[in-house]
Amino acid sequence: PEAITVQELANRMAARGGEVVKALFRMGVMATLTQTIDADTAELVVQEFGHRVRRVSESDVELGLEGAADEDTDLQPRPPVVTIMGHVDHGKTSLLDALRKADVAAHEAGGITQHIGAYQVAVPDGGKVTFIDTPGHAAFTAMRSRGAQVTDMVVLVVAADDGVMPQTVEAINHARAANVPLIVAVNKIDKPGVNPDRVRQELLQHEIVVESLGGETQEIEVSATKKINLDKLLEAIALQAEILDLRANPARAAEGTVIESKLDRGRGPVATVLVQKGTLKQGDIVVAGAEWGRVRAMLDDKGRQLKEAPPSLPVEILGLSGVPSAGENFVAVEDEARAREISEFRQRKAREKSSAAAVAGRGTLTDMLA
């Protein structure tokens, strides 16, 4: 079966289309950018470019920028990455704050918490959990529209006194679209006269069946402000993580997603990135979106300088040439030449995309005039 166009293959390798055409020519295959080549030929080209190949199916070839495919034996358990969602005023921010304070390692750091877009807490059983601190549904949508999948599970906050509301349903749909499991946190149970059973029934109408009703969805009654059952919530997250069997290879070039970024007056471009594969090291050369640079300094959510960041750790990095957008991919590469190449490739791709949009716009105008 035909597998992939030459252009798409080049895109996936972040290589120039012309180089791929040339490589094919050397192999005796004449193809233009828009022509498709079969999976076997694609595999040869990919190897020619020094990447490892993972055949996802007979007809598809998938690879990351730096040769992606990890052997099973290279994979180590990694902490879960959790996003908290729910209706406005149901207690997302309060819960994130309370969980941050529940961090058993916070004392060591002198309790200084620097506000970055994600943080990691150490839990009493020795494990860790990463929370994405952007409780906005918009941020979640923006990431997903860029093809970024950062979260392993969603904690759905539902206030016991208010029940399922429009943004609760929206969050359920987001989790479904992203194909990630939900844990329900029924919040504000400290309030007198609240009825968590009502919440369970309302969730049922949206096909969320909690465990106490015989379903699969874990549900914990909590109070963010009175700090009730936060440990149980963390346990539920740990259990869900165990079920998902989350793993990554720490011994490879780092790859991940930009969570947020800004231009800092004193420090220049600053990006918070989530390392998803490999280990990011101070001094690494990285490409983030179309920006690149050497990681001059790396800080965790407590403002501590780090030399290394393993999978699932969110870190702030300094040293980029510009400000990448949230949801964009970042990858550590072998040298500056490669970084420049990928950066130029991504810039070109972005330009092509916007001019394609412009052409499409002209088409419409022509049609209108005709």
Mask of contacts with Mg ion, 86-125, x by CB under 5 A?
A: ------xx--------------------------------
Q: Residues 91, 269, 289, 293: which binds ligand GDP (CB under 6 A)?
A: 91
Phi, psi (degrees; rounded to nearest 5) at 310:
-80, 175
- Helices vs strands, H then E, count in the chain: 9, 20
Is beta strand 182-187 parallel, antiparallel or unpaired with respect to 153-159?
parallel
- CA dist 244 and 153 (Å) reads 9
- The least distance separating Mg ion from the CB of residue 135, rounded to whole angstroms, comes to 5
**Cβ-based neighbours of 158, under 8 Å, separated by 6 or more:** 86, 87, 90, 164, 168, 184, 185, 186, 187, 199, 203
**Cβ-based neighbours of 107, under 8 Å, separated by 6 or more:** none
Nearer to Mg ion by Cβ, of 92 and 346: the residue is 92
Nearer to Mg ion by Cβ, of 142 and 209: the residue is 142
Binding segment for ligand GDP among 145-153, 186-194, 325-333, 359-367 (CB under 6 A)? Answer: 186-194
100 counts as binding ligand GDP under rule CB under 6 A: no
89 is in the binding site of which of ligand GDP, Mg ion, none (Cβ under 5 to 8 A by kind)? Answer: ligand GDP
- The least distance separating ligand GDP from the CB of residue 232, rounded to whole angstroms, comes to 14
154 counts as binding ligand GDP under rule CB under 6 A: no
The annotation status of 93 as a binding-site residue, yes or no, is yes
- The least distance separating Mg ion from the CB of residue 136, rounded to whole angstroms, comes to 8
- Based on its alpha-carbon atoms, the radius of gyration of the chain, rounded to whole angstroms, reads 23
- The least distance separating ligand GDP from the CB of residue 277, rounded to whole angstroms, comes to 31
Of 331, 322, 336, the C-alpha closest to 273 is: 331
DSSP strands (E only) in 80-192: 81-86, 118-122, 128-132, 153-159, 182-187
- The least distance separating Mg ion from the CB of residue 142, rounded to whole angstroms, comes to 17
> Three-state DSSP class for 223?
strand
Residues 78 and 313 sit within 8 Å (Cβ to Cβ): no
Tell me whether residue 86 is exposed, middle or buried, using C-beta atoms within 10 angstroms of its C-beta: 0 to 12, 13 to 18, 19 or more. buried
Question: Which residue number has the CB closest to Mg ion?
Answer: 93
93 counts as binding ligand GDP under rule CB under 6 A: yes
- The least distance separating ligand GDP from the CB of residue 134, rounded to whole angstroms, comes to 11
- CA dist 33 and 72 (Å) reads 34
Of 195, 198, 235, 194, the C-alpha closest to 213 is: 198
Mask of contacts with ligand GDP, 57-86, x by CB under 6 A?
A: -----------------------------x
174 counts as binding ligand GDP under rule CB under 6 A: no
190 counts as binding ligand GDP under rule CB under 6 A: yes
**Per the annotation, where are the binding residues for GTP?**
86-93, 133-137, 187-190
Q: Which residues bind ligand GDP (CB under 6 A)?
A: 86, 88-94, 135, 187-188, 190-191, 223-225
Q: Which residues bind Mg ion (CB under 5 A)?
A: 92-93
